[in-house]
Amino acid sequence: MSIAPAIPHVIDRATCTALDAADPLAGHRELFDLPEGVVYLDGNSLGALPRATAARVQRVIAEEWGTGLIRSWNDAGWFTKPIDLGDRIAPLIGAAAGEVVLGDSTSGSLFQVAVAAARLRPERRVIVSELGNFPTDLYVLESVQELVGEPGRPLERRLIGGDGIPGPTLADVLDDDVAVVVLTHVNYRTGRMYDMNEVTRQVQAAGAIMVWDLCHSVGAVPVDLNGAGADFAIGCTYKYLNGGPGSPSFIWAAERHHPEARPAITAWHGHAKPFDFDVEYAPAPGITRFRVGTPQLLSVAALEASLDIWRDVDLELLREKSLRLTELFISLVDSRLAPWGIEVVTPRQSARRGSQVALRAGGADGYAVMQALIERGVIGDFRAPDLMRFGFTPLYVSHADVWDAVATLEDILSTEVWRDSRFARRGAVT
């Protein structure tokens, strides 16, 4: 494995282009169709478009659907796609073949999995998560609490603090009444990463089931679910995996849980013999029982094209480059943006950081600054109340991109162009 040079102390743009020239992953950028003049630092929200995707989706539409029609369920392997593509996601998360299946949305998959997890601990009445979690996860858990609890007596919820948010620690809330702990491995706002091995061990030592949300981890950092001995996981494929808007989520369940697992939604694609059209439900063996209904095959086609890229990505090289990009960004922010009080919120300790960096905008309005950046072609995003987020997808972001992003940010802050009223307008989606 070739080790690219570390970030030198004195950095200029030429240093960045030299780092790009020595970057073993630089060639992957050609596999993506990025608009000219755009520095794309929002792959943690919606990954870029792979060049191969449009033709793949077109082929599925014209040949498999148009010509093959209903025959494609067998001839084009439509029925087993969620399992086949699960097997291709497996090596990215330290899972074995047969342990991963595609789901619907991440929210739906969390419901499916968290109910199964809670049912493995019927004598326990508490679900633990974190105040700083992506809110949909907490909203979903409210339904789980109701469904798994008794009528009028939902499961109790305990939320830990951390990541700058005051609240109890995991050790404070764990006791022998905790059934399930649901945590997001890399935080969506700050990019802070948990120690998966350590947290899993702590949760299981208390007798609880560990569920990991990998939305900001898969394709961003190496993950080893089986190495950590975790119980369940879910994640998105439209962020760092570049599956496209609305591409399906995935579900992982450790093989030891397959025989006992009772997911929330028992539907025909999770049935042992779906084409017997039996009146009674009987769960399929293995991970298949987590399936629900007909997969979104056009989205699945787009995901398949993006997974082709991942076949030969070395995850150690990916992590190295990711850390180089985030370290470069942090050191440029420190050295060039100090006069404006810009604060790095993401942990500086690399082992605690995913592949994104969040900045607090000091005296400036972070939302307006981000809109000014986007107008200049540097695309990140803003997360209320005050964080500017920058995602660094190692497959297509270059060191020169990082330089250009910070230089543009410096210009926007020094000219105060962000104060223009056009940057204050908010769309429905931030």
Q: What are phi and psi of 340, to 5 degrees?
A: -100, 10
What is the amino acid identity at position 253?
A
Residue 362 CB, nearest approach to ligand PLP (Å)? 26
> For residue 344, is it left (φ>0), alpha (ψ between -120 and 50) or beta?
beta
Which CB sits closer to ligand PLP, 167 or 207? 167
Taking the least distance from each CB to ligand PLP, the nearer of 25 and 264 is: 264
Q: Is 181 in the site for ligand PLP (CB under 6 A)?
A: no
Neighbours of 222 (CB within 10 A): 15
* Contact window for ligand PLP (CB under 6 A) among 55-63, 134-142, 162-170, 218-226: 134-142
Distance CA 378, CA 256 (A): 46
Q: Is 12 annotated as a binding residue?
A: no
Instruction: Kindly tell me which residue out of 32, 40, 134, 290 binds ligand PLP, with binding defined by CB under 6 A.
Output: 134
How many residues are present in the chain? 430
CA separation (Å) from 54 to 30, 64, 302, 303, 383?
15, 15, 8, 11, 31
**What count of other Cβ atoms lies within 10 Å of the Cβ of residue 98?**
16
Catalytic residue among 121, 125, 239, 383: 239
Q: Is 273 a catalytic residue?
A: no
The strand pair at 387-391 and 381-383 is best described as antiparallel
- Min dist CB 404 to ligand PLP, Å, is 26
Interacting residues with ligand PLP between 200 and 219 (CB under 6 A) = 213, 215-216
Of the residues 119, 289, 324, 389, which is catalytic? 389
Q: Is 213 among the catalytic positions?
A: yes
Query: Whose CA is closest to 128, among 171, 178, 167?
Result: 178
Query: Is-catalytic flag, 389?
Result: yes
Q: For residues 119 and 216, which CB has a smaller minimum distance to ligand PLP in the complex?
A: 216
**Tokens of residue 425, six digits:** 């307008």
Q: Is 40 a catalytic residue?
A: no
Q: Identify which of residues 110 and 344 has a Cβ nearer to ligand PLP in the complex.
A: 110
Question: How far is Cα 337 from Cα 353, in angstroms, rounded to an integer?
Answer: 21
- Whether residue 238 is annotated as binding a ligand: the answer is yes
Cα atoms in the 13 Å half-sphere on the side-chain side of 190: 21
Residue 80 contacts ligand PLP per CB under 6 A = no
What count of other Cβ atoms lies within 10 Å of the Cβ of residue 311? 8
154 is in an annotated binding site: no
What is the Cα–Cα distance from 347 to 353, expressed in whole angstroms?
6
Which x/- pattern, by CB under 6 A, does the window 221-250 give for ligand PLP?
Answer: ---------------x------------x-
Binding mask 137-176 for ligand PLP (x = CB under 6 A): x---------------------------------------
Residue nearer to ligand PLP on the CB measure, 136 or 350: 136
Extended strands (E) in 197-288:
209-213, 232-235, 250-253
User: To the nearest whole angstrom, how small is the minimum distance from the Cβ of residue 187 to ligand PLP?
Assistant: 8
* Interaction between residue 130 and ligand PLP (CB under 6 A): no
67 is in an annotated binding site: no
Cβ nearer to ligand PLP, comparing 25 with 230: 230
Dihedral angle computed from the Cα positions of residues 404, 3, 5 and 20, in that order, rounded to the nearest 10 degrees: -30
* Residue in this structure with the two tokens 């102390």, named with its chain if needed: 9
Count of residues near ligand PLP by CB under 6 A: 13
Whether the Cβ atoms of residue 379 and residue 42 lie closer than 8 Å to each other: yes
Strands 209-213 and 232-235, by their bridges, are parallel
367 an active-site residue? no
**Which of 136, 296, 350, 408 contacts ligand PLP by CB under 6 A?**
136
Whether residue 188 is annotated as binding a ligand: the answer is: no
Smaller CB separation from ligand PLP, 101 or 215: 215
* Distances in whole angstroms, Cα of residue 49 to Cα of each of 1, 46, 199, 271, 278: 28, 9, 34, 34, 42
Sign of dihedral through CA atoms 218, 353, 12, 335?
positive
Q: Minimal distance in Å, beta carbon 213 to ligand PLP?
A: 5
- The site string for ligand PLP over 99-118 (x = CB under 6 A, - otherwise) reads ------xxx-----------
Going by the DSSP 8-state scheme, the letter that residue 174 receives in this structure is -
The residue whose two tokens read 């981000």 is: 370
Q: Is 136 annotated as a binding residue?
A: yes
Residues annotated as catalytic (active site), given as ranges: 134, 213, 238-239, 389
- In the complex, the residues that contact ligand PLP under the rule CB under 6 A are 105-107, 134, 136-137, 184, 188, 213, 215-216, 236, 249
Binding site, annotated residues: 106-107, 134-137, 184, 213, 216, 238, 268, 294
Binding site, annotated residues for pyridoxal 5'-phosphate: 106-107, 134-137, 184, 213, 216, 238, 268, 294
